[in-house]
Amino acid sequence: MEKKSRISLILIFSFFLVPLVTSQVAIPINGITNNSQNYISSEEMFFLQKAYPYKSKSLHDQYYFPVEQLNPDSRKQVFRSSTSIISSVELSGSMDSSWPMKSYNAQRIGRTIYSTINNPGLEKWRFTTISGGVDSGAVVAIDGTIYFGSNNWYVYALYPNSTLKWSYKTSQPIFSTPAIAADGTIYITSCDNYLYALRSDGTLKWRFNTGEIISSSPVIAPNGTIYIGHSQGRVFAINPNGTELWHYDLPNDIYGDPALAMDGTIYIGSWDNRLYALNPNGTLKWYFPTGNHVKGVPSVIPDGTIYFGSWDGYLYALYPNGTMLWRCSVGSGTETTPAIAADGTIYVGGDDLYAVYPNGTMRWIFNLGTDRHIFTSCPAIAAEGTIYVGVDVGETTAGEILAVNPDGTERWRKTISDEWVDSSPAIATDGTVYIGSTGFWVGNGLHAFGAVGSNLPPYPPIISGNTEGNSGKEYDYRFLIDDPDNNPVQVYVDWGDGTNGWSYESVHGYSIRMLHTWEKQGTYIIKAKARDSIGAESNWTTMEVTMPFSYEPPHFQFIEWLFERFPNAYPILRYLLGFN
């Protein structure tokens, strides 16, 4: 199911549902690599270190810029590049936070300076959004507040312990990942056509009407300009006060997000199979054609190289002038943002998870498993190199979070939804990984994975349902769960007739639904206990049920007579009623 059709489907249902409820690398500057003992200045190195942090050695041991080999004009370009890095890191969004916008920063590199080496893959908590899932990603503010949008029309702000700080209701589902500006303003788009600017206390600062459905995740320039694109192909530049700076119309739809180069160029894909480059003043710089839709988001590295995927089956690398550097086959294609590792490896999702060397050759391919694919979830890379991404099972069967080591081996995974996981992960300063999900019984909210300092067991579940009935008939039972640490909880049920098993996981304060049939008459004791995602278990709770009668399916005398009277008629009805 393509993103366009999935958004349309959720838009239709929302009208009814919502009201109800690490190795070293030398970065070449202007084509020159490191073979010199001439360093750039310590001041420039400080800002470069913030833009491209490496964990193993100091940047002075990794980058040598051969300034004496450059002519004066080229030398100026080196310093202009350093200045651009300063702008993109220090001013483009709230970059003191661990994850201020989709894919980490304005260049969409998808990599943070914070490690998850001590993250064991335990689900610390789950915040349920009830009547709509979370297909977009979360962002994390300097104070640890988590912001995200939901298909249920709301923007949420959570404390790091999962308690609600505030929520703000828009008028349509949200597929946009927020962006946090340097002054703390939260920008997010909604399918109600608006770009919203919210203060950190959840009050509306302003909103801008784009005139069409919009799911684009905003990107913020160093001067505070916000860039977005709506579904009918218009790219907007919005001033920080909410007024329009300019717009540029592409010839076809936009279902991706813009990315910014360090020189201010805006890159965005279109359904006309092209990647567009726009100048900061809103004029066309160039476009590059591919063989199918460009729905994903490009990423840009400091030397200006642009990486992006298309549904023609290729990952592309372009020079800043729009000519192709290389292309690499990635299955049937991709619409995920390429994430750039510290050693330059590019990760993209699709039929599998692909790792591509900076020269365009395949490094490794991680097989996701049977009937699994990565749809719109963009990989996120921690400081030590672990890659996190959301995986769909079938079209709407289940969704997982997957953690992969830099060498292409699996670190861990967990099923968190009974429908899909298209959300892009975000990484906090303490190594917690946040990801959203859409589900029916399982999922439908924001999940937090990380280390747990202390944990109390859940409370015994409260059982509700019929205490007597008929053998041979199916009955519906609910198990109300509660956990003092807000961990996800599942229940183990012994039905008293030799059958037993664990349920799916749900959130504390909600009921888990289970169906059961006793085949024989008698009195049975239902025993149930709860277990949280950390492994702590509650005491048992019980409920007695009696099945004094046998269940007989209803008889339809007239229909039986009809079938006897006309033995060759009504074959479908005969089959449905079991008269064959």
Q: Are residues 116 and 174 in the same domain?
A: yes
* CA torsion, ordered 291, 292, 297, 298, to nearest 10 deg: 0
Asked if 366 contacts 352 with a C-beta cutoff of 8 angstroms, the reply is yes
* Domain assignment present for 555: no
> Over the stretch 355-401, which tens digit does the pLDDT of each residue have?
999 999 999 999 999 999 999 999 999 999 999 999 999 988 999 99
Q: What is the C-alpha to C-alpha distance for residues 490 and 278, in angstroms, rounded to an integer?
A: 51
Q: How far is CA 370 from CA 391, 408, 409, 438, in A?
A: 11, 17, 17, 20
Two structure tokens written together for 265: 């160029």
Q: What is the C-alpha to C-alpha distance for residues 316 and 70, in angstroms, rounded to an integer?
A: 29
Q: Are residues 403 and 341 in the same domain?
A: yes
Query: Above pLDDT 70, what percent of the chain?
Result: 79
Residue 450 phi, psi dihedral angles, 5° rounding:
175, -170
CATH code for the domain of 511: 2.60.40.10
pLDDT of residue 292: 94
Two structure tokens written together for 190: 């909604």
Q: Are residues 219 and 297 in the same domain?
A: yes
User: How many domains are there within the chain?
Assistant: 2
pLDDT of residue 559: 67
pLDDT of residue 177: 97
pLDDT of residue 556: 60
Q: Are residues 347 and 486 in the same domain?
A: no
* Domain assignment present for 36: no
pLDDT of residue 77: 28
* Domain assignment present for 39: no
Sign of CA dihedral 495, 499, 502, 504: negative
Q: Are residues 356 and 297 in the same domain?
A: yes
How high does pLDDT run on average in the chain?
83
Give the largest Cα separation in the chain, rounded: 103
- Give residue for tokens 């008698």: 522
**First and final C-alpha spacing in the chain:** 38
> Over the stretch 127-179, which tens digit does the pLDDT of each residue have?
999 889 999 999 999 999 999 999 999 999 999 999 999 999 999 999 999 99
> Over the stretch 316-345, which tens digit does the pLDDT of each residue have?
999 999 999 999 999 999 999 999 999 999
Q: Are residues 352 and 278 in the same domain?
A: yes
pLDDT of residue 44: 34
Q: Are residues 348 and 280 in the same domain?
A: yes
Residue 55 in this model has a pLDDT that exceeds 90: no
Sign of CA dihedral 365, 366, 370, 373: negative
* Domain assignment present for 571: no
Q: Mention every residue, 6+ apart, whose C-beta is less than 8 A from residue 243.
A: none
Q: Are residues 434 and 500 in the same domain?
A: no
pLDDT of residue 290: 96
* Domain assignment present for 87: no
> Over the stretch 189-243, which tens digit does the pLDDT of each residue have?
999 999 999 999 999 999 999 999 998 999 999 999 999 999 889 999 999 999 9
The type of residue at 291 is G
End residue of a domain, out of 419, 449, 479: 449
Helices (H) and strands (E) counted in the chain, each on its own, are 6, 41
Residue 565 phi, psi dihedral angles, 5° rounding:
-70, -35
* Domain assignment present for 47: no
> Over the stretch 415-445, which tens digit does the pLDDT of each residue have?
999 999 999 999 999 999 999 999 988 888 9
Q: Are residues 359 and 482 in the same domain?
A: no
Average pLDDT over residues 82-105: 60
* Domain assignment present for 218: yes
Domain coverage including residue 127: 3-21+95-449
CATH code for the domain of 101: 2.130.10.10
> Over the stretch 471-520, which tens digit does the pLDDT of each residue have?
999 999 999 999 998 888 999 999 999 999 999 888 878 899 999 999 99
Q: Are residues 415 and 307 in the same domain?
A: yes
End residue of a domain, out of 449, 473, 506: 449
Q: Are residues 442 and 469 in the same domain?
A: no
* Domain assignment present for 45: no
Q: Mention every residue, 6+ apart, whose C-beta is less than 8 A from residue 194.
A: 170, 171, 207, 208, 209, 210, 214
> Over the stretch 238-283, which tens digit does the pLDDT of each residue have?
999 999 999 999 988 888 899 999 999 999 999 999 999 999 999 9
Sign of CA dihedral 253, 257, 259, 265: positive
pTM as predicted: 0.78
Q: What is the C-alpha to C-alpha distance for residues 530 and 254, in angstroms, rounded to an integer?
A: 46
Q: Are residues 475 and 437 in the same domain?
A: no
End residue of a domain, out of 403, 428, 449: 449
3-12, 112-121, 302-311, 516-525: the lowest-pLDDT one: 3-12
Residue 52 in this model has a pLDDT that exceeds 60: no
